Amino acid sequence: MTPIVDGLKRQYRGQLNVVYVSMDRTAGKEQAKEYGIVGTPTLLLLDSEGNQVSVLRGSPAPAQIEQAIEDLLAR
């Protein structure tokens, strides 16, 4: 998932804040619990106020990720 996240950071620089959270760390586990994440990989899209807008579980196709991001940016 890291290469995908890195690509999103480059592609949407200045439009979104892309953050990778590792479930191997205590802080990551706490954040996962906060957002109700029970499996990985999970991609959450949050609005500028931190509200969950979309969740993609598993390994979504790049087109599905891009569509979810474009929907978020259009809000």
* Residue 42 φ/ψ region, left for φ over 0, alpha for ψ in the -120 to 50 degree band, beta for the rest: beta
CA distance 72 to 25: 28
pLDDT tens-digit map of 15-39: 999 988 988 899 999 999 999 998 8
Pairing of strands 42-46, 52-57: antiparallel
- Which pTM does this prediction carry? 0.83
Total number of domains constituting the chain: 1
pLDDT digits (tens, 9 = 90+) for 34-44: 999 988 999 99
Domain containing 24 — which CATH number?
Answer: 3.40.30.10
In terms of residue numbers, what domain contains 61? 2-73
